Structure 1
Amino acid sequence: MRSLLYVLFALLASVTAQKLEKINTIADTVGKVYHYQPEQVHLAFGDNLADIVVTWSTRDATNQSVVLYGENYSDAKSLVNVTGNARIFVDGGKKKHAQYIHKVTLRDLKPQTRYEYSCGSDLGWSARFSFTTPPAGSDWQPSLAIFGDMGNENAQSLARLQQDTQQGMYDAIIHVGDFAYDMDTENARVGDEFMRQVETIAAYVPYMVCPGNHEEKYNFSNYKTRFNMPGERDSLWYSFDLGPVHFVSFSTEVYYFLQYGFKLLTKQFEWLENDLREANKPENRAERPWIITYGHRPMYCSDEKEYDCNEKLETFIRQGLPLVKWFGLEDLFYKNGVDVEIFAHEHFYTRLWPIYDFKVYNGSTAAPYTNPKAPIQIITGSAGCKEEREPFSETLPAWNAYHSNDYGYTRMKAHNRTHLYFEQVSDDKNGEIVDSFWIIKDKNVAYNEL
């Protein structure tokens, strides 16, 4: 009888344990929210203008990375289904915040064609977006918005840029470093919020980028994982052609964060030499006579606070590494006839006279930007961030042609092979154009031959 009771009690305990385990499992499931919906959607040019790369994030694994696209999204039968891949990204913060970054490349698209698309998986889809591919060849007029130093706090220029983009004003956007302030903050939540905010720009036109000093944390992991620029160099340096312009993006940060590897600096410099040599082949320069570079930290500054951006303290980027002066870019860009060098980092806008080695080389007194005898540099770092504006020096250098403290951004239009147009938009002044100028070149020869 006693043994029978033991058996009954054992059975009852077993059943009770199974029920408790089931209840606990249900309790663990209740309240768990699965994030399969795509967010932070953004575009970039692929290795050629016929390819567009679509990137987005999900919190949880979807086991699929799919883009559905076509010229008429309402015609389901005509939609093309393209698959890609995803990789898990774990931020370096204490909480090890994880998400999945999806990448799909749309290849061999027709030129000058509007496509509609959505991205996701069987577990969740994005809203419908659209983009227009650029025309083929170099005989057309690309328009771009260019700026640096825009965070998601005090992003002063963001609303106006969103309006411009939705009105179809740009063929591409160039963000010259410093995103979010900083992408790694709060276990990368700040980076997520920034990418959500720029989706209304970046999901409609290619959003081309370069790294700034605020992306440095954890070896630039947020930057390198979130963006997919052309080439295979973690988006640190690359080039692309748009109309009559050859754009060259590079990292100024490889000069300053050598703890991540001296080899990065040497590899980038070698790549720049090869890329500019190729761009300067007679047949290539005839097709695309304009060469424009962009990197985050400038060679010349109009404020006194910068520790390496004045005549007394040589800038690493301009002259090369201290003492040995290796890998300086000013000589390289001058030698290869770079037309315009775009920088940010300083939270203002500055247009320089054509400059080389602290000397002004205007085309002429009456027309300084007609056949200039040195590259023209622009600093456009005033899009808006929590660090606010920079003050200018009381005594401005002779090579400072124009400057503005207004929040804003730069527009560029390549009208043809001889005329390039820039203007500066002031958000403080409700979109007023506070500066504009033309660069005109009717001959394509080395600067020392002009």
Structure 2
Amino acid sequence: MKDDGYVRMDVEGSALRPRRRRGPGRRSLALLAAALVLFTIGFVVVSPSLEQAPAEDGIHLTTWPKVIEDGGDLVVFWPETARVNKNDYLTLSCGPQQGTDDYLARKNVTEFDATLNSVRFSELFMMRCDYSVEYFRYHKGKKSYESLTKIQVGMRESFNTPKHGHLALTTQENAMAVMYNSASSRTPEARYGTDPTNLDHHATGTSTTYKASDMCQAPATTVAQRLFRDPGFMHTAIMTDLTPETTYFYQYGNDVDGWSKVAQFRSRPKKDTKTTKFIAYADMGVDTAPAAQSNAVRVYSDVVGDGFDSFLLHFGDISYARGEGSVWDKFFHIIEPYATRVPYMVSVGNHEHDYTAGGEHDPSGEAGSAGNGFHPHWGNYGEDSLGECSVPMYHRWHVPATGNSLFWYSFDYGGIHVVQMSSEHNFTRGSNQYEWLERDLASVNRIESPWIVLTAHRMMYSTQKDIDVDIHLGERFRAEVEPLLMKYRVNLVLVGHQHSYERSCPVYQGECVRDGKSAPVHFVVGSAGFGLSDNGFTSKYGNWSLVHADEYGHLRVATTATQMHIEFISNRNGIVYDEVTLEPY
């Protein structure tokens, strides 16, 4: 949602952006960290750290480690005997800068690490560039800063190393897409098979990228350390001719740039299969425990340890990059351990899509007559993507070609028909999306698919306090779309936007249905990691809300032909916070 604790940045001055304070809890990430090690590949060092960078006043810099692991920390030292002013500071950058005020992070010398002559920069990710640390001396008389010295530190792996692997379902039911990122434009490849020591199938693919000028508006169109940066190339290869319900092992890359670690996935089931185990959530981001990174730990455990590996639904507010390109690199680093194991199926939210100018760049082709996207007078649609207008999303993810790219589409899996629609585009009667949605729902064979699951980013139902504009928008959303849900017997509606958890009764037009089952159940699961809502809940919007909590977590869902069991898993301790079993109607 738009009111999320961030302020707009001044793109005319420093490229710094105020950040929400992130919580403690790095120990709880041990499981995910162990998984990330599996994706470390032994490539040559690009640019090793200098042993020392001499400068004035006895200031020179050394680092530990000498080269940076993807996701690792960097400790920077200066001599214990050096003359240091308490106002001196160090900056961290990666790649081209637009001036000395353009950097990723800044540390004052008083923010020391283990020793008084060191500072630590944490969580440095592969961004296909060498990192640099620059030392600035404060001159009291001049009341100004001067750069004294600079040191460059390379990544342990080549910039061409295959990174950010993630799977996706395709239009073909006997295929699986793998996407990855690198600095290389060489033809992407995948090799795969049922024996991890004999990957005897091969696929080649395609690559894409985007520029700052491809975005809709500032600040996303601004090149800076903490705004647009070269994203490298996004590669896609389709693994075809898969046998149903079979474990496949695979690698992605090529012989020149290198190959990823061997990963695995399970192919789609046969058409008559009526069982699934999947994960669902929205509003994740990249914050530390107990937020997004804890969510990644819990989901990894559910996918790899408990077999919830049919697919994963992430319905909007994905990384919260909002024009800050480095956040996309961090997000994919966090999800890679399980996104290479389970098809990661996404749709857009307000922080990926909403904009107010530059609609000719909107990849959905739905800019509207004013060229600024969907802005009905009764909504609170703004410029929440800060200019991205879904351009990074469009290039970074793959979905089945059954609708309008990742903006609205559907797929079938194990007795479930899944519809991912967009609340950020026109959903009113007569719109392109509405017409597609009705055709799609009308085409579902309920013998083959006894369950229909629909996702969107914004909610139709919520009892969160102090969000009257969102509530009003939700009522309009219901008025337009809810009759279709009843007509075609949609079972489950999954949404986010509110950063909390909430479950309804089977509800229609604001009332629980009398028989307790013949209407959709609505879940708000905007709880995957971005800052929690803290304004509580109220009954003034209706009595249909059965469970609600300001709690981080995600859904895991297990289905058969006759039952759908849904659990909300808390990030705090991994316990089942809430659960319910649904029956078809």
Which of 246, 249, 274 aligns to 2:439? It is: 274
Aligned-partner Cα distance in 1 for 2:322–2:332: 9
Residues 1:362 and 1:39: Cα distance change in structure 2 (over 3 Å): farther
The residue aligned with 1:215 is: 352
Query: Which of 457, 461, 467 is residue 296 of structure 1 equivalent to?
Result: 457
Aligned counterpart in structure 1 of residue 164 of structure 2, from 21, 40, 63: 40
Aligned to 2:523: 378
Is the partner of 2:447 in helix, strand or coil?
helix
SS of corresponding position for 1:425: strand
User: Which secondary structure does the structure 1 equivalent of 2:172 belong to?
Assistant: coil
Is 1:59 aligned to 2:202, yes or no? no
Change over 3 Å in CA distance of 1:314–1:212 after alignment to 2: closer
Q: Which residue of 1 aligns with 2:208?
A: 87
Q: How far apart are the structure 1 equivalents of 2:514 and 2:551?
A: 26
Deviates more, 1:38-47 or 1:167-176: 167-176
Which of 492, 506, 529 aligns to 1:340? It is 492
SS of the equivalent of 1:437 reads strand
* 1:21-36 aligned within 5 A: 35-36=159-160
Q: Is the 8 A contact 2:459 2:474 kept in 1?
A: no
SS in 1 for 2:494: strand
1:320-340 deviations in whole A, cap 9, x for unaligned? xxxxxxxx1111212221111
SS across alignment from 1:292:
strand
Contact 1:308 1:315 in 2 (8 A): no
TM-score (norm 2): 0.62
Q: 1:51 to 1:362 in 2, by over 3 A?
A: farther
Deviation at 1:393, TM superposition (A): 2.3
Return 5+ residue gaps in structure 2 as ranges.
1-129, 131-151, 216-220, 354-384
Match in the other structure for 1:162:
300
The farther-off stretch of 342-351 and 224-233 is 224-233
Task: Look up the SS of the partner of 2:245 in the other structure.
Answer: coil
1:440 aligns with 2:577: no
Q: Residue 425 of structure 2 corresponds to which residue in structure 1?
A: 254
The 8 Å contact of residues 382 and 389 in structure 1, kept in 2 or not, is answered as: no
**CA distance 1:426–1:225, shift in 2 (3 Å):** same
> Match of 2:123?
none
Match of 2:83 in 1: none
2:412 maps to which residue? Answer: 241
1:239-271 alpha-carbon deviations (Å, 9 max, x no partner) = 111111111111111149xxxxx99x8221111
State how far apart, in whole Å, the 2-side matches of 1:405 and 1:314 are: 20
Correspondence 1:330 to 2:482: yes
Q: Tell me how far apart the structure 2 counterparts of residues 43 and 433 of structure 1 sit (CA, whole Å).
A: 27
Query: CA separation of 1:70/1:246 partners in 2, compared to 1, >3 Å: closer, same or farther?
Result: same
Report Cα offsets for 1:348-390 as digits up to 9, x if no partner. Answer: 1111011111122142xxxx3xxx23211111111111x3334
Write the letter of the residue equivalent to 2:569. V
Q: Which residue of 2 aligns with 1:7?
A: none
Q: Secondary structure at the match of 1:254?
A: coil
C-alpha distance after superposition, 1:165-222 (max 9, x if no partner): 222521111112111222531xx11011101110011111101111111112332111
- Structure 2 distance, partners of 1:314, 1:113, is 41
Counterpart in the other structure of 2:246 = 113
Alpha-carbon distance, 1:90 to partner: 2.2
- Separation of aligned partners in 1, 2:518 and 2:404: 33
- C-alpha distance in 2 between matches for 1:86 and 1:126: 17
| 1:35-61 alpha-carbon deviations (Å, 9 max, x no partner) | 211111100111133110111111232
Q: Is 2:510 the partner of 1:358?
A: yes
Q: For residue 195 of structure 2, what is the aligned residue in structure 1? A: 72
- For the 8 Å contact 1:48–1:240, the answer to whether it is kept is no
RMSD: 2.3
Paired letter, 1:172: F
Asked if 1:139 corresponds to 2:273, the answer is: yes
Given the superposition, is the C-alpha separation of residues 292 and 362 from structure 1 closer, same or farther in structure 2, using an over 3 Å criterion? farther
Aligned partner of residue 354 in structure 1, secondary structure? strand
- The answer as to whether partners of 1:184 and 1:222 remain within 8 angstroms in 2 is no
Residue type of the alignment partner of 1:440: E
**Match of 2:208, SS?**
strand
State which structure, 1 or 2, has the greater radius of gyration over its C-alpha atoms. 1
Question: Secondary structure of the equivalent of 2:566?
Answer: strand
Q: Deviations over 1:133-181 (max 9, x none)?
A: 1321233320011111111113131111112222252111111211122
Quick one: which of 420, 423, 429 aligns to 2:564? 420
Displacement after TM superposition at 1:83 (Å)? 0.2
Q: Distance in 2 between matches of 1:190 and 1:42?
A: 16
- Alpha-carbon separation, structure 2, partners of 1:239 and 1:132: 20
Secondary structure in structure 2 of the residue aligned to 1:287? coil
- Structure 2 CA distance for aligned equivalents of residues 73 and 108 of structure 1: 17
Q: 1:168 to 1:421 in 2, by over 3 A?
A: closer
Please name the residue that 1:389 is paired with.
533
- The structure in which a higher percent of residues are helix is 1
Aligned to 1:104: 237
Task: Tell me the secondary structure at the aligned position of residue 53 of structure 1.
Answer: strand
Say which SS state the counterpart of residue 437 (structure 2) adopts.
helix
Question: Does the C-alpha gap of structure 1 residues 183 and 234 become closer, same or farther in structure 2, counting only changes over 3 Å?
Answer: farther
**CA 1:239–1:390: 2 relative to 1, 3 Å:** farther
Normalising by structure 1, report the TM-score: 0.79
Q: Note the alpha carbon deviations across 1:259-313, whole angstroms, 9 max, x for none.
A: xxx99x822111111101101xxxx111212111011100011112324343x66
Aligned residues: 379
Q: 1:354–1:362: 8 Å Cα contact kept in structure 2?
A: no
Q: Aligned AA for 1:237?
A: W
Following the alignment from structure 1 to structure 2, what is the Cα–Cα distance between the partners of residues 391 and 42?
Answer: 35
Shift of 1:238: 0.9
One-letter code aligned to 1:180: S
Q: Which residue of 1 aligns with 2:319?
A: 180
Residue 294 of structure 1 aligns with an amino acid whose one-letter code is T
Residue type of the alignment partner of 1:97: R
Shift of 1:394: 4.0
Paired residue secondary structure (1:193): helix
